[in-house]
Structure formats: structure tokens, C-alpha cells
């Protein structure tokens, strides 16, 4: 909030650009975070670029290539759930015995929400879909 000085306000004018030490420290901390953000950026950015390439391959129906790229990203970011799902979707779409088994291995023990399921299910054959168990129905 910012307000003009009220009538009769009796106070000294503050010296311009003279900030309390803790405010300077806070600004320094924010600057350090910005620098750290840029230092950490290349690794994550590369993963995002690779994932985009995987999406492009998928759109061109090059499912094997798409899966390979997504699996490489997943290897470097094993906790990336969206990457896991994209890899599984590409493998299901490739639709060979090996790729379907590999996709099932990727999803073993994973909980999929209704949005994940909506994304993945069309890539699966009905027999594969039957192998998934509903653990809680959505409202």
C-alpha cells in the first residue's frame, strides 16, 4: 500500500535510497536465488527440450523414437511422473509385445489419477486396460 502524506503529518523525510540492513540482505538473498535458478537451469531445460522432441515424434506417430527419448529423460529424472506417463503412452502406442511389457513395467506400482488414465487408456488395447485395477472410484 502506498499513500500520500496526510495533512499535518509531522515526520522527517527519509534519505533516498537508504534502506535498512535487513532489507538489503533480503534483496541480496533474492539475487542469490535468481543466480542459483539460472545455474540449475541447463539440466532441467535440456530435459524439457528432449521431452518436447519426444512429443513431436509422438505426434508424427514415431512411437518407438518418442518412447526412446522419453525413457532417456526418465533415466535422468526418475521421479518425473509426467515423463513416465509420456514414455508409457509412447510404448503402449508402439504396440509390440516388448513395448507393452516395458510400459507395464514403467507403471508397476504407480497410482494413476483420472486425468492420467484418460491420457493413457486410448493408447492401450482393451486386454491391457483390464490389467489395471481401480482402487477408488471418483465422485
Cα 31 to Cα 41: distance, rounded to the nearest angstrom: 15
Q: Tally Cβ neighbours within 10 Å of residue 131.
A: 10
**Minimum CB distance to other proteins, residue 72 (Å):** 13
Cα 108 to Cα 9: distance, rounded to the nearest angstrom: 69
Give the contact letters, 71-110, x = binds to other proteins (CB under 8 A), - = no. --x---x-xxxxx-x-------------------------
Closest CA to 106 of 83, 129, 122: 83
Give the contact letters, 29-68, x = binds to other proteins (CB under 8 A), - = no. -x--xx-xxxxxx--xx-xxx-xx----------------
**Minimum CB distance to other proteins, residue 133 (Å):** 22
* Per-position DSSP letters for 91-117, written without gaps between them: HHHH--HHHHHHHHHHHTT----HHHH
**Minimum CB distance to other proteins, residue 127 (Å):** 28
Cα 120 to Cα 130: distance, rounded to the nearest angstrom: 13
115 binds other proteins (CB under 8 A): no
Would you tell me which residues interact with other proteins (CB under 8 A)? 1-6, 9, 11-14, 16-17, 19-20, 23, 26-27, 30, 33-34, 36-41, 44-45, 47-49, 51-52, 73, 77, 79-83, 85
Amino acid at each position: 500500500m502506498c499513500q500520500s502524506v496526510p495533512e499535518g503529518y509531522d515526520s522527517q523525510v527519509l534519505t533516498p535510497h537508504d534502506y535498512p540492513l535487513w532489507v538489503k540482505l533480503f534483496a541480496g538473498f533474492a539475487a542469490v536465488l535468481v543466480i542459483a535458478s539460472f545455474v540449475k537451469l541447463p539440466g532441467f531445460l535440456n530435459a524439457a527440450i528432449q521431452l518436447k522432441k519426444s512429443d513431436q515424434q509422438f505426434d508424427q506417430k514415431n512411437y518407438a523414437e518418442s518412447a526412446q527419448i522419453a525413457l532417456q529423460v526418465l533415466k535422468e529424472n526418475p521421479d518425473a511422473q509426467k515423463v513416465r506417463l509420456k514414455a508409457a503412452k509412447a510404448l503402449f502406442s508402439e504396440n509390440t509385445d516388448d513395448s507393452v511389457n516395458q510400459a507395464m513395467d514403467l507403471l508397476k506400482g504407480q497410482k494413476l489419477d483420472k486425468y492420467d488414465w484418460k491420457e493413457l487408456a486410448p493408447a492401450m488395447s482393451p486386454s491391457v486396460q483390464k490389467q489395471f485395477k481401480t482402487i477408488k472410484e471418483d465422485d
